[in-house]
Amino acid sequence: MHLQYLADVADGATGVVDQLSDVIETTGNQAGALFSNLPVLTTKLLMAALLIFIGCIVIRIGRRMIASIVKIRGQKSDRAIHQADTFRSLVTSIFNYIMYFIIMMVVLGIFGVNVSSILTVAGVGGIAISFGAQTLVKDILSGLFIWTEGSIAVGDVVDINGLQGVVESIAIRTTVIRNYNGNLLIVPNGDIRTITNMSRDFKRAIVDIRCPYEADQQHLVDIITEEMEKAGEEIDGLDATPEVMSILSFEVDAVIVRVAAQCPVGQHWRIERDIRSRIKARFDKEGIVMPHYQRPPLAQ
């Protein structure tokens, strides 16, 4: 019985040894094939790396050429420069996508991938892909419409879907805005619904002044009008006297008097601050106290 058991163990050990020998032999064959093909693989990797390097150089040169051409064509006015920057941003985006696609196809060809079959499959499956990439297609089409219609341009101060800032670039798929905190806001073109462009022709500086009910309203209007006549002469960027629109509305604790001044684009914030400072200083001089909330004293 013990002899039979030892014989079975010996047979099992022999089988394990045979399997281990097969594994070692197979691994050796695969390693030999890899080492025999290593020079070819290394050559392909070097060619692919060289191609990618050359492609990056071509992309950089192409970007500079596009920027140079557009810059030459856009030195007539601020509006023309903004349109030229927008055209440059869009063309650069399209150029980048085309070059990346070409580099990818050539690299696949170096490694023996049948590029023509990939293109054929892509053509046949284009409709199916389009259903899965509807958002991408919508972004691209919206970007083309934004550029052709000229609703916004690079450098414009805009409000897009409630996001305010300066347009830094308009690409084929996205529009990039830098807000006043310095943050970059990237908006897909297909998501753009409402655009408020604050960089066309002119802007109005609007200041609503809270005046007390107790003061004589005509006297208040006269004071503000007199101060605005000085502001029209002294504030840089104002070509005319700001308009005092008399009483605009009544609130619970204040009478609202509005002042409006036409000014250059992008200057309304500065002019509004200057007008507020002048009104406050004049009210202090006249002894007029603007309505304000007073915190009740703490109970003793």
173-196 pLDDT, tens per residue?
Answer: 888 899 888 888 888 888 888 888
Rounded Cα–Cα distance for residues 85 and 65 (Å) = 13
Average pLDDT, the chain: 75
The tens digit of pLDDT for each residue in 103-132 reads 887 777 777 766 666 556 555 445 545 555
pLDDT tens string 6-17: 445 445 545 544
pLDDT at 168: 86
Q: What pTM was estimated for this model as a whole?
A: 0.50
Bridge partners of 164, per DSSP, are: 159
Across the range 19-40, mean pLDDT stands at 56
Question: How many angstroms separate the Cα of 121 from the Cα of each of 115, 118, 126, 128, 247?
Answer: 10, 5, 8, 11, 70
Confidence of residue 33 (pLDDT cuts 50, 70, 90): low
The two tokens of residue 131 are: 């259903």
User: Could you tell me if 245 and 259 are in contact, meaning their C-beta atoms sit under 8 angstroms apart?
Assistant: yes
41 residue type, one letter? L
The pLDDT, as a whole number, for residue 3 is 46
Please state the rounded mean pLDDT for residues 52-70. 81
Between CA 128 and CA 121 the distance in angstroms is 11
Bridge partners of 163, per DSSP, are 160
d(CA 291, CA 193): 39
- Asked whether the predicted pLDDT for residue 295 surpasses 80, the reply is no
69/51 Cα distance (integer angstroms): 26
Query: Mean pLDDT, to the nearest integer, of 65-73?
Result: 69
According to DSSP, the residues that pair with 204 across neighbouring strands are 262
The mean pLDDT of 65-82, rounded to a whole number, is 64
Q: How far apart are CA 246 and CA 249, in angstroms?
A: 9
Residue 59's identity, in one-letter code, is I
Position 216 pLDDT exceeds 80: yes
Q: What average pLDDT does the segment 222-250 reach?
A: 86
Q: How far apart are CA 126 and CA 247, in angstroms?
A: 63
Residue 271 has pLDDT above 80, yes or no: yes
Determine the average pLDDT of the residues in 130-151: 70
pLDDT given for residue 237 in this prediction: 80
Identify the CATH number of the domain defined by range 203-286: 3.30.70.100
Residue 158 near residue 164 (C-beta atoms within 8 A): yes
Tokens coding 14: 């022999």
Q: What is the mean pLDDT of residues 139-160?
A: 79
Nearest to 207 by CA among 294, 295, 293, 290: 290
